[in-house]
Amino acid sequence: MKRVYLDYNATTPVDPAVLDAMLPYLRDNFANAGSVHTPGQRARAAVDAARDSVAALIGAKASEIVFTSGGTEADNLAIYGAVAASTKARKHVIASAIEHHAVLHTCEDLARTGVDVTFVPVRPGTDGRGGQGIVDAEEIRRALRPETVLITVMHANNELGTIQPIEEIGRIAREAGVCFHCDAVQSAGKIPVDVERLGVDLLSISAHKFCGPKGVGALYVRTGTSIVPRFRGGHAERDRRPGTENVPGIAGMGKAAELARAKLAEDSVRIAALRDRLEKSLLEQVPDAFVNGDRARRVPNTSNITFRGAGGEALLIGLDLQGIACSTGAACSSGSTEPSHVLLAAGLSRDDARSSLRFSLGRATTADEIDYAIATIPSVVERIRAISPRAAAASILAQ
């Protein structure tokens, strides 16, 4: 049976060149990068080279890169750290309603400690099938208060792929003198990311989203931006993130960033063409199916489709049995019985949100794999609808 992986937003395969870059620091050059002896200095050189590479990917200075264990830690460090660094007596944070749980749950935790949090909605839809999945920057402006200490809005949504108006929000934040954090975990390596152009003070990325290893990420901290560390210990990462550096992971992230930067233009054009062909074919073959989110303002690899009347979990299992791996939403929400908060925020009904699948492509996706998906998915949808009479009846009544 053919195996087709269409879940690149959850994680990506490690590029062979990335693995080659990591292996020396798992074998012979295993020293601690904090040690002053020669092996330690070799490890330090690898970390420094990787820092340069990651900085280049997002248009930052090497001194502004803090290595973390991944995107979640980077988000937590940015949000908790910026709020703790503020000297205001009362504190207010603004976030979008479609943030990743690494941001959403962090903001909810802050709210429990007395920080006021405003979750700004996304634009409503015009066709009864959910909204664009894009934040209105003017809603951010209207949410500002004198006590606002942080705005946090993601660059590209992990479920819809929709690209948020970060540059516009960045200008609003600068005018108000408010720190601005952006979760760019799903955009770095897929579309150009330039921290100066975006106007952000803090930006999170994760290596395993662009063919690097799991367990390593980075937080961009603009020069002059204050954050309070979440951990206590030694003086690693300029006192911003103590702990022994993950040298093999960091070396791998550096190589992955180098490759992503070199291949970005070529990859995005090819992947977008494959995504569009998959999408077009499925909409032509499967009745009562529609794409969620703005189809123009999104990263090139992501398609979120509702197959009305077919339960997403059943579809997921049915496709997996046919060798196709995709997702009903964020991988970190696996096992949840609740429909996606992103799709609900975008205006979908609970039933439609539960009948949606995310297909995300990547560097290794081939035309043959997309052909197989196009030939397989419609029949699986038809079968799931046939054995779900209650869902099918709800679909008919909704028309």
Pair 25, 36: CB distance under 8 Å: no
Round to whole Å and give the CA distance between 26 and 379: 46
CB 147 within 8 A of CB 138: no
CA-to-CA separations, 146 to 90, 199, 228, 252, 381, in angstroms, rounded: 9, 21, 22, 43, 51
Annotated catalytic residue 107: no
Q: Report the distance separating Cα 47 and Cα 254, nearest Å.
A: 8
- The amino acid present at 185, given as its one-letter code, is V
Alpha-carbon dihedral sign for residues 118, 124, 130, 131: negative
* Annotated catalytic residue, options 107, 179, 211, 332: 332
Per DSSP, what are the bridge partners of residue 318? none
Helix residue spans in 156-246 (DSSP H): 166-176, 195-198, 236-239
Cβ count within 10 A of residue 12? 22
Task: Please report which helix (H) or strand (E) contains residue 303, including its range.
Answer: strand 302-307
DSSP string, 212-226: --SS-EEEEE-TT--
- Residue 290 has which token pair? 């529609």
The catalytic site residues sit at 332
